[in-house]
């Protein structure tokens, strides 16, 4: 089965067409960006499809990161994935950004817990901790840096994501130091495809995972009362 994976959640726009049966990536593209995902995504998908030599009708499943991430970026990826799914009649699977970041490290060794951490600014982090056998030790949440350290610094751990260095810098000297820190800012769309291939569709809907309210608030001071 071919899976087209889309990621626009963080600081890149990434697309990969992956053949799950052979575990082979037919084509992929990625461009670092903090804005402009809406303009970049569809041309990037077209590029990947042309490079792979495949047609949209060959795709069996669409995968998309659902967050946490930027509100605008998430909407871009989710809207595109839903549109592709609707147009082709194929299912769409949503996978969390944190799980996608953690997946490569867990594949290497699932005996040491992995903490996926995204810098949420102002000394806040989005985090998730996954232990041996894929057991969720800390569910996805937003925490202040000091609370995040308190939640995960209770034994050997590997840190991944833009928040990894922040966690490492605040790691208590009384706890075992992090085994590894991988300071990547973007999930790998190939791993997104792999996770989607084994996900339960009923538990992996393409809906945004928001761990905090939007920064922008509607103006209410001059609102006219409705009658």
195: nearest Cα among 13, 10, 16: 16
Q: Tell me how far apart the alpha carbons of residues 191 and 189 are, in angstroms, rounded to a whole number.
A: 5
Q: Parallel, antiparallel, or unpaired: how do β-strands 124-130 and 180-182 relate?
A: unpaired
Rg (CA), the chain: 19
Q: Measured on CA atoms in the order 182, 164, 162, 23, is the torsion positive or negative?
A: positive
Peptide bond before residue 37 is cis, with ω within 30 degrees of 0: no
* Residue 94 structure tokens: 């949503």
Q: Parallel, antiparallel, or unpaired: how do β-strands 59-65 and 2-7 relate?
A: parallel
Is 155 in a helix, a strand, or coil?
Answer: coil
211 φ, ψ (degrees, to nearest 5): -105, 0
pTM of the model: 0.91
* Residue 82 structure tokens: 């839903």
Q: Tell me how far apart the alpha carbons of residues 140 and 224 are, in angstroms, rounded to a whole number.
A: 39
Q: Which residue has the tokens 């990947």?
A: 48
Q: Tens place of pLDDT for every residue, the chain, 227 residues? A: 999 999 999 999 999 999 999 999 999 999 999 999 999 999 999 999 999 999 999 999 999 999 999 999 999 999 999 999 999 999 999 999 999 999 999 999 999 999 999 999 999 999 999 999 899 999 999 999 999 999 999 999 999 999 999 999 999 999 999 999 999 989 999 999 999 999 999 999 999 999 976 554 445 555 555 45
């Amino acid at each position: 089965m071919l899976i087209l994976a889309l990621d626009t959640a963080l600081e890149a726009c990434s697309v990969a067409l992956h053949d799950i049966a052979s575990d082979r990536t037919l084509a992929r593209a990625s461009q670092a960006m903090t804005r402009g995902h809406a303009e970049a995504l569809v041309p990037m998908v077209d590029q990947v499809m042309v490079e792979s030599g495949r047609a949209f009708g060959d795709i069996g499943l669409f995968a998309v990161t659902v967050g946490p991430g930027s509100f605008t970026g998430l909407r871009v990826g989710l809207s595109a994935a839903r549109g592709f799914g609707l147009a082709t009649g194929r299912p769409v699977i949503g996978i969390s950004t944190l799980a996608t970041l953690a997946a490569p490290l867990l594949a290497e060794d699932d005996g040491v817990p992995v903490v996926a951490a995204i810098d949420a600014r102002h000394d806040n982090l989005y985090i998730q901790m996954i232990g041996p056998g894929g057991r969720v030790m800390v569910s996805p949440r937003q925490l202040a840096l000091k609370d995040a350290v308190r939640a995960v610094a209770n034994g050997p751990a590997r840190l991944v994501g833009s928040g990894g260095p922040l966690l490492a810098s605040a790691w208590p000297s009384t706890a075992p130091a992090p085994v590894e820190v991988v300071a990547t800012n973007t999930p790998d769309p190939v791993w997104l495809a792999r996770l989607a291939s084994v996900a339960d569709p009923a538990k992996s809907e393409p809906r945004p995972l928001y761990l905090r309210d939007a920064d922008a608030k509607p103006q209410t001071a001059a609102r006219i009362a409705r009658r």
